[in-house]
Amino acid sequence: MGIFIGILSLVLMIINLLYYISSCCSSICNKLFLHILSLGVISSLGYNLYLYNDINNECKNHYKKENLWDYYIYLLIILGINSILICLIYLYNCLKN
């Protein structure tokens, strides 16, 4: 479930970002969705980190045996990088104003 939430939040964020960039006008609705989906990516990172710490060894071994564990780690890294970038952009915008 955590992987699905992580991938869904990233895909929605990318779609919304592309729509925001491609539109000539930056309406309040687009900005609002961009902020909500940014929080969704950060929340997804938190939820997946919780699952990473809470998973038992039996499940972890099963995912490793099915060669799925590495994809989960990659997802955590991507979510972490995106969350850091989102926080840096918000910090830059706050300091700029």
Q: Where are the domains of the chain?
A: 2-96
Q: Splitting the chain (97 residues) into consecutive groups of 10 residues, what average pLDDT does each group show?
A: 79 77 66 81 89 90 90 90 87 79
Looking at residue 24, its pLDDT comes to 57
The whole model's pTM is what? 0.77
Looking at residue 19, its pLDDT comes to 72
At 12-24, the pLDDT tens digits run 878 777 776 766 5
Residue among 18, 57, 13, 62 at smallest CA distance from 5: 13
